[in-house]
């Protein structure tokens, strides 16, 4: 669907319209099904109302069919309402689908508590708000085509991104005597100091695992997130001079910050494996799951980076605020301590942190050779995809105005 400069909507052909309706329906159905799964997880983490009953870890199987049915009815009704603008209809369908699904669940699935159904409604509305295009600027409602073109443009400029990342990593340590060894020296020194202080104190809580291996399994994924967000939110502001001189896809600036963090994390991961082997913790077959955990974390990270990068150019207090929040988040993430020693009333707060399931799963694989709790990973995965979509759309809708903010 395209729009002219005056925001006049051009009717699509019958075939393209049917294909688009099918795609939209599948996307909206996926939103509601994922909302149901995330709501079950949050209901378990933050219990409210009566007993959870038999709805955890998976909701009543009838719920999926009812969600799909109610969404289908709602979407067809919204699509037949020809007097709606297509962009408004695109927003209306999943919103109405969430509300109708909630009503259907209330009446047709008595085994699911009212609290569980309210969780579902809230989560689905949040995901719809993040994933479905809303009006942004100049009446441009459906911005999916420009976003698709932008992604293709970034792919065509991937060599520029590679060169940029390589140059920045080399330049950072060009005059240093130890060179890239500094990438691992600081986190390793922190790990050794933490081991000296907490090894005996937390020996039983770590289930006999060497504390340095326990700590490194938390600090490696945390370091990727912390370094990426801290660098990404300042990336646009520090590159304002370049933005005013030449055109290139602006998101490459943010992606280069992420690329540098990935390079640093790769070195740190190798150092972790070496130290783990020294203390008797060796790689295992579950390491094949680690790329999935990193993918979930990268979606969360990149979404935040894209959102904070342009916000920092508008509100210059954002970097200071985020620095404080990152420091607080460090202690609200089970990096130094295991989740098992946290009081139950505080565990709920920690489990709301999407990094917690990722780091707990990462540590479980690396240190304890245990299979992750797949149900817990649905929450950070869904939030990561939503943040990535929302962050990229908001970045692209505001990038034309970045040069005016100098």
User: Contact, 55 vs 43, CB < 8 A?
Assistant: yes
The dihedrals phi and psi of 231, each to the nearest 5 degrees, come to -80, -40
Q: In which band, very low, low, confident or very high, does the pLDDT at 51 lie, cut at 50, 70 and 90?
A: low
Residue 6 has pLDDT above 60, yes or no: no
Kindly report the pTM of this predicted structure: 0.85
| Tokens, residue 110 | 């008595």
Looking at the structure, do residues 379 and 346 belong to the same domain, yes or no? yes
Looking at the structure, do residues 236 and 168 belong to the same domain, yes or no? yes
Query: Smallest Cα–Cα separation from 296: which of 216, 224, 395?
Result: 224
As a whole number of angstroms, the distance between CA 85 and CA 89 comes to 6
- End residue of a domain, out of 114, 142, 170: 142
Look at residue 288 and tell me if it is in a domain: yes
Q: In which band, very low, low, confident or very high, does the pLDDT at 300 lie, cut at 50, 70 and 90?
A: very high
For residues 203 and 237, the model is more confident at 237
Q: In which band, very low, low, confident or very high, does the pLDDT at 55 lie, cut at 50, 70 and 90?
A: low
Q: What is the pLDDT of residue 90?
A: 72
For residues 79 and 150, the model is more confident at 150
Residue 59 has pLDDT above 80, yes or no: no
The 10s digit of each residue's pLDDT in 259-270 is 999 998 998 999
User: Contact, 388 vs 296, CB < 8 A?
Assistant: no
Cα atoms in the 13 Å half-sphere on the side-chain side of 274: 8
Q: In which band, very low, low, confident or very high, does the pLDDT at 175 lie, cut at 50, 70 and 90?
A: low
Look at residue 171 and tell me if it is in a domain: yes
Burial of 219 (0-12, 13-18, 19+ CB in 10 A): buried
Looking at the structure, do residues 133 and 165 belong to the same domain, yes or no? no
Q: What is the mean pLDDT of residues 365-374?
A: 93
For residues 211 and 359, the model is more confident at 359
Query: Smallest Cα–Cα separation from 403: which of 208, 203, 245, 174?
Result: 245
Looking at the structure, do residues 211 and 334 belong to the same domain, yes or no? yes
Looking at the structure, do residues 193 and 326 belong to the same domain, yes or no? yes
Residue ranges making up the domain that contains 92: 14-142
Q: What is the pLDDT of residue 16?
A: 62
For residues 12 and 385, the model is more confident at 385
Q: What is the pLDDT of residue 299?
A: 96
The dihedrals phi and psi of 179, each to the nearest 5 degrees, come to 60, -135
As a whole number of angstroms, the distance between CA 30 and CA 44 comes to 21
Q: In which band, very low, low, confident or very high, does the pLDDT at 92 lie, cut at 50, 70 and 90?
A: confident
- End residue of a domain, out of 79, 112, 142: 142
Counted domains in the chain: 2
Looking at the structure, do residues 48 and 91 belong to the same domain, yes or no? yes
Q: Is 369 left (phi over 0), alpha (psi -120 to 50) or beta?
A: left
Q: What is the pLDDT of residue 7?
A: 39
Looking at the structure, do residues 38 and 173 belong to the same domain, yes or no? no
Looking at the structure, do residues 193 and 58 belong to the same domain, yes or no? no
Cα end-to-end span (Å), the chain: 34
Report the percentage of the chain scoring pLDDT > 90.
Answer: 29
Looking at the structure, do residues 306 and 237 belong to the same domain, yes or no? yes
Top mean pLDDT of 143-152, 230-239, 360-369 is at 360-369
The 10s digit of each residue's pLDDT in 183-196 is 777 778 888 887 77
- End residue of a domain, out of 142, 161, 183: 142
Q: In which band, very low, low, confident or very high, does the pLDDT at 142 lie, cut at 50, 70 and 90?
A: very low
Look at residue 84 and tell me if it is in a domain: yes
| Tokens, residue 82 | 């020809």
Look at residue 2 and tell me if it is in a domain: no
Q: In which band, very low, low, confident or very high, does the pLDDT at 231 lie, cut at 50, 70 and 90?
A: very high
- Cα distances (Å, whole numbers) of residue 51 to 47, 54, 56, 343: 8, 9, 11, 20
Look at residue 9 and tell me if it is in a domain: no
Looking at the structure, do residues 370 and 232 belong to the same domain, yes or no? yes
The DSSP secondary-structure symbol of 13 reads: P
Cα atoms in the 13 Å half-sphere on the side-chain side of 362: 28
Look at residue 307 and tell me if it is in a domain: yes
User: Contact, 249 vs 150, CB < 8 A?
Assistant: yes
Q: What is the mean pLDDT of residues 146-157?
A: 79
Could you tell me what percentage of the chain is helix, strand and coil, using 3-state DSSP and rounding each to the nearest 5? 75, 0, 25
Look at residue 4 and tell me if it is in a domain: no
User: Contact, 256 vs 238, CB < 8 A?
Assistant: no
Q: In which band, very low, low, confident or very high, does the pLDDT at 385 lie, cut at 50, 70 and 90?
A: very high
As a whole number of angstroms, the distance between CA 163 and CA 144 comes to 29
Look at residue 8 and tell me if it is in a domain: no
Q: What is the pLDDT of residue 87?
A: 63
Q: What is the pLDDT of residue 359?
A: 96
Looking at the structure, do residues 323 and 349 belong to the same domain, yes or no? yes
Residue 296 has pLDDT above 90, yes or no: yes
Q: Which secondary-structure segment (H or E) carries 111?
A: none
Looking at the structure, do residues 272 and 172 belong to the same domain, yes or no? yes
């Amino acid at each position: 669907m395209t729009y002219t400069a005056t925001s006049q909507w051009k009717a699509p052909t019958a075939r393209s319209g049917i294909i688009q309706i099918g795609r939209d329906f599948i996307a909206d159905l996926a939103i509601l099904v994922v909302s149901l799964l995330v709501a079950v997880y949050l209901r378990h983490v933050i219990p409210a109302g009566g007993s959870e009953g038999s709805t955890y870890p998976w909701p009543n199987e009838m719920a999926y069919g009812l969600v799909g049915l109610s969404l289908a009815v709602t979407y067809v009704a919204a699509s037949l309402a020809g007097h709606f603008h297509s962009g408004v209809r695109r927003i209306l369908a999943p919103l109405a689908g969430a509300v109708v699904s909630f009503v259907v669940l209330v009446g047709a699935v008595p085994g699911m508590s009212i609290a569980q159904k309210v969780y579902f409604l809230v989560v689905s509305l949040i995901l719809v708000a993040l994933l479905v295009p809303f009006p942004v600027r100049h009446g441009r409602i459906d911005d999916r085509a420009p976003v698709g073109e932008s992604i293709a443009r970034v792919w065509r400029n991937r060599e520029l991104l590679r060169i940029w990342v390589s140059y920045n990593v080399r330049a950072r340590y060009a005059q240093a005597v130890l060179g890239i060894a500094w990438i691992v020296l600081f986190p390793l020194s922190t790990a050794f100091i933490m081991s000296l202080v907490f090894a005996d104190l937390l020996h039983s809580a770590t289930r006999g695992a060497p504390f340095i291996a326990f700590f490194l399994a938390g600090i490696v994924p945390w370091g990727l997130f912390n370094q990426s967000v801290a660098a990404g939110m300042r990336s646009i502001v520090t590159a304002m001079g370049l933005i005013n001189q030449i055109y290139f896809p602006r998101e490459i600036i943010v992606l280069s910050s992420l690329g540098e963090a990935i390079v640093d994390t790769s070195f740190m991961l190798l150092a972790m494996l070496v130290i783990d082997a020294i203390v008797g913790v060796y790689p295992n077959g579950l390491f094949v799951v680690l790329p999935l955990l990193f993918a979930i974390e990268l979606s969360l990270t990149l979404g935040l980076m894209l959102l904070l990068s342009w916000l920092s150019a508008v509100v210059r207090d954002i970097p200071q605020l985020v620095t404080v929040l990152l420091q607080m988040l460090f202690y609200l993430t089970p990096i130094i301590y295991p989740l098992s020693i946290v009081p139950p009333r505080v565990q709920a707060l920690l489990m709301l942190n999407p990094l917690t399931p990722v780091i707990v799963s990462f540590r479980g694989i690396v240190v304890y050779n245990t299979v992750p709790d797949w149900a817990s990973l649905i929450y950070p995965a869904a939030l990561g995809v939503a943040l990535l979509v929302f962050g990229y759309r908001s970045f692209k809708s505001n990038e034309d105005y970045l040069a005016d903010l100098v």
